[in-house]
Amino acid sequence: MEQTYLIILVVVLFALAISDLIVGVSNDAVNFLNSAIGAKAAPKVTIMVIAALGVLIGSVFSGGMMEVARKGIFNPTLFPFSSIMIIFLAVMITDVILLDLFNTFGMPTSTTVSIVFELLGSAVAVAMIISQESGLAVNEYINTAKVLTIIWGILLSVAISFTTGAIIMWIVRFAFSFDYTKRLAYLGAVWGGIAITSITYFILVKGAKNALFMDKATLTWIKSNTFTIVTYCFIGWTVLLQLLKMIFKIDILKIIVLTGTFALAMAFAGNDLVNFIGVPLAGFESFNIFSNTPGANADTFMMGGLAGKVATPTYMLVIAGIIMVITLWTSKKAKNVVKTSLDLSRQAEGEERFGSSIFARTIVRISINANEQITAILPKPIISYISKQFDTTEANQKNKELGKEAPAFDMLRASVNLMVASVLISMATNMKLPLSTTYVTFMVAMGTSLSDRAWGRESAVYRITGVISVIGGWFFTAFSAFTVAFIMALILLFGGKLAVAGLVILAIYTVYRTHTIHKKQSGEKTEVREFEIEELDGEIGAEKVLATCKYSVTDTLKKVSQLYIQAIHDMEAEDRRGLREINKEVSTLNHKVKHLKSNVYPTVKKLQEQDIDSSLFYVQVVDYLREATHCLSYITKPVYNHLDNTHKNFSQQQFDELNKIKVEVQSVIAKAVEIITQGSFGEISNLMASQQELIEKLKTGRKKQLKRIKNDKVGTKNSLLYLNILHETQNLLLHLVNIVKSQRDFVDYQK
């Protein structure tokens, strides 16, 4: 390899490392932000500042983890320099592409699993080629024992995290209950002392040995005085928290949650930084070793130098930490925190993101039966006392009286989430196991939500299905990472410089395309959020519901009119691509209105007591709006399928009839929107007259079509589609008038 080419490869590796840092933090920010945000422990700005400090400090604790990238997965002594560089480059290109794709499409993934299986896949691919000349078996090139340890560690982390989270949450909830205000006065400081001491022990005492700035004397002193440090930490934190509670009335749980957020962000940076810069640093070290060996041949110089202990420069870790902090603040994907974990662990009911599955239903039934058998054995007083500790009624009532909007879960559970996850991740870091922070934080959250009875009979099957879907996504991540890295390495081996240039361009193009897709998705989500009354805090009046409802209805009807007109036009032009896009827009519109209908329950709950009766009209409006959008989808989908199956299109006579109808449909919908917008409900009689006139024309259209059938002028597919369009158009007009009437009743009731 030429010297210039090698330098270019190193530069490319570091450029990919920066990109990987940005993509990785966007993916993993949810791991250390969800608990504090879900519990509404503090303003988001405060939470972000604390998390950023944790990430920055944690980055300098990750030096020991860098060895995983150099020698954890493969034996570098058996690979020549040229092969090592191909392995590292294949890993980084794959990592950037896969993580960005997963982030954009909301697929659950793990940066740790990605990097481990990418290293494994690319190393196996290169080993298969060079083993043909060396005569060694492929498995000799791979550090099989270490790989199996890492994989087992990751798999066990799922079970351990879930179980630990569930057990500790049950104990803590039993001790405090949901109405924990009184008990917090005398137990809160003790719980805070335990929680913060645990975090201090694993982050500071155990994690200090990986920090590059720690000298041997300090490490020796810490090691020999561990028990003393832990004891004084517990006493000190307990006393300090109690004093803060008594004197300044400071919320102890808030301190625990914010400290836990800092600790988890720190543990994330200490454990996961290797996932983003470990490979480029290993590549840079390989380049230095090769360059410092005069006369070395890139294809024959073996990389035994990587097997030794190489210190990672502190300044590089700090730079990486700064990039991670900047990303945390500026990345739209990081700001738009993924809601999967919160949706699956929230205490309240609501719209479920996942459906039901046979496996989930079976587990729920088995659990219910087991619970009934245990209940039958235990004495009733014990069952009653336990049930009282897990009863949320009083806590919810107090929030309602204070006018507070209930968070996804309370701060007691948030404190357990953060403490358990921080401790488990820090333990793995100290054992130099690249444990997946995604797996740990997610499974701890699921375990605590199970113990907190957040998975009730109304939501259990959906939550369990969601957890199974997420875990399935993790296995898909491992398979994808191995396969794609394997292919990338082979392409680089046989493609040379052109392959390097081509794959780098592919990575840049993929990031650009996914950014465009994400921007489009963000726009659609913003439109959905404009419909969301449940986003508002506290109780709301019917005036706010009416205003939001008015916007939702008029905006939806305008889009229905636009898409209806465009569908007829594209059908006449036989524009299949246009019809495909229309169906996507109709599907998005249906999703928005479905979301609106699904949130009728939380909306009604938020209404002030004197406005409860008005919810009847709100429900009617939403129901009719949902039916109207259904009518549109029942028109556009059959039209697209008709053309997609290459069936004969309508005759010019049929299109002439449809074009006249579509103009009048547009006119009637425009009248309805005007009436709702201006509140001129006295014009409803004129609207109904226009509706009836158009319905008569639809009947005439049916008669003409029946005559064409009688005279064998049209085929079966043609007739079914044409009659379907007329029928659904009539249904759309009927629902349209009902929408306007319900909106009128809503307004009149308010007056």
Where b means 16+ CB within 10 Å and e means fewer, 184-208 reads beeebbbbbbbbbbbbbbbbbbbbb
As a whole number of angstroms, the distance between CA 183 and CA 188 comes to 7
pLDDT > 70 fraction of the chain, expressed in percent and rounded: 78
Please count the CA atoms within 13 angstroms of the CA of 363 that sit on its side-chain side.
Answer: 17
| Residue 338 pLDDT > 50 | no
Residues 6+ apart with CB under 8 A from 745: 617, 620
- Radius of gyration of the chain measured on its C-alpha atoms: 31
Q: Any idea of the CA torsion for 704, 705, 708, 709, to the nearest 10 degrees?
A: -140
Is pLDDT above 90 for 92? no
Model confidence at 224: pLDDT above 90: no
Burial class (CB in 10 A: 0-12, 13-18, 19+), 543: exposed
Provide the token pair at 37.
């945000």
Alpha helices (runs of H) in 135-225, residue ranges in sequence order: 138-141, 144-176, 181-200, 216-224
- Rounded CA-CA distance 503/487 in Å is 11
337: pLDDT strictly greater than 50: no
Mean pLDDT across the stretch 342-359?
61
- Mean pLDDT in residue range 413-435: 76
Q: What's 599's DSSP letter?
A: T
The pLDDT of residue 593 is above 50? yes
> Phi and psi (nearest 5°) for 631?
-55, -40
What does the pLDDT look like over 226-235, one tens digit per residue? 788 889 989 9
67 within 8 A of 478, measured Cβ to Cβ: no
pLDDT at 27 over 70: no
DSSP state of 277: I
pLDDT for 404? 54
Lowest-pLDDT choice from 124-128, 329-333, 359-363, 501-505: 329-333
- Token pair, residue 344, equals 């699956």
**What's the pLDDT band for 582 if we cut at 50, 70, 90?**
very high
Q: Which residue has the higher pLDDT, 121 or 224?
A: 121
Q: Which of 101-115, 140-154, 734-748 has the highest mean pLDDT?
A: 734-748
Kindly state the DSSP code that residue 74 receives in the 8-state scheme: B
- Higher pLDDT: 457 or 431? It is 431
Distance CA 737, CA 557 (A): 12
pLDDT of residue 536: 44
* Euclidean distance between CA atoms 246 and 262, whole angstroms: 25
Q: How confident is the model at residue 722 (pLDDT cuts 50, 70, 90)?
A: very high
Please provide residue 550's backbone torsions phi and psi, each rounded to the nearest 5 degrees.
-60, -45
CA distance 543 to 234: 52
Average pLDDT over residues 415-438: 75
Q: Give the CA distances from residue 634 to residues 254, 644, 667, 729, 731, in Å, rounded to whole numbers and listed in that order.
A: 51, 16, 21, 10, 11
Check whether 534 has a pLDDT greater than 50: no
The SS3 of residue 352 is coil
Structure tokens at 324: 């991670």
- pLDDT tens-digit map of 602-658: 666 555 555 556 667 778 888 888 899 999 999 999 999 998 888 888 989 999 999
Contacts of 17 (CB under 8 A, 6+ apart): 92, 276, 277, 279, 280, 320
**What average pLDDT score do residues 105-124 get?**
78
Which residue from 133, 140, 90, 504 is spatially nearest to 299, judged by alpha carbons? 133
User: 273 is written with which tokens?
Assistant: 């930084």
- Name 227's Cβ contacts closer than 8 Å, sequence gap at least 6: none
82 and 1 Cβ atoms separated by less than 8 Å = yes
Instruction: Pick from 176-190, 394-408, 446-460 the range whose average pLDDT is largest.
Output: 176-190
Residue 399 has pLDDT above 80, yes or no: no
CA proximity to 449, closest of 461, 463, 470: 463
* C-beta separation of 409 from 345 below 8 A: yes
Highest mean pLDDT among 25-39, 166-180, 351-365: 166-180
DSSP-assigned states of every residue in 464-494: HHHHHHHHHHHHHHHHHHHHHHHHHHHHHHH
Statement: residue 470 has pLDDT above 80: no
Q: What is the pLDDT at residue 296? A: 77
SS3 538: coil
Range among 11-20, 116-125, 438-447, 564-573 with highest mean pLDDT value: 564-573
**Average pLDDT of span 59-79:** 68
- How far apart CA 382 and CA 388 sit, in angstroms, is 10
pLDDT value at 661 more than 70: yes
The residue that leads in pLDDT, 432 or 695, is 695
What is the set of domains in the chain, with CATH numbers? 3-526 (no CATH), 532-750 (1.20.58.220)
CB atoms within 10 A of CB 21: 23
Is the alpha carbon torsion for 408, 409, 415, 420 positive or negative? Answer: negative
Question: Quick one: pLDDT band at residue 352, thresholds 50, 70, 90?
Answer: low
Residue 483 — very low, low, confident or very high, per pLDDT cuts 50/70/90?
Answer: very high
Site of tokens 């039966």: 369
The tens digit of pLDDT for each residue in 489-527 reads: 999 888 877 888 888 888 777 777 766 665 665 554 444
pLDDT for position 187: 85
- Mean pLDDT is lowest, of 73-77, 271-275, 302-306, for 271-275
Contacts of 152 (CB under 8 A, 6+ apart): none
Helical (H) or strand (E) element with 33: helix 3-38
> Predicted confidence band at 561 (pLDDT cuts at 50, 70, 90)?
very high
Q: Are 65 and 432 in contact (CB under 8 A)?
A: yes
**pLDDT, average across residues 188-209:** 76
Rounded CA-CA distance 718/730 in Å is 19
What would the two tokens of residue 373 be?
């058998």
pLDDT attached to residue 731:
92
The yes-or-no verdict on residue 670 having pLDDT over 90 is yes
| Global pTM exceeds 0.85 | no
Give the pLDDT of residue 458: 64
Q: Which two tokens stand for residue 492?
A: 């680089």
- DSSP letter at 648 equals P
* Whole-number average pLDDT of the chain: 78
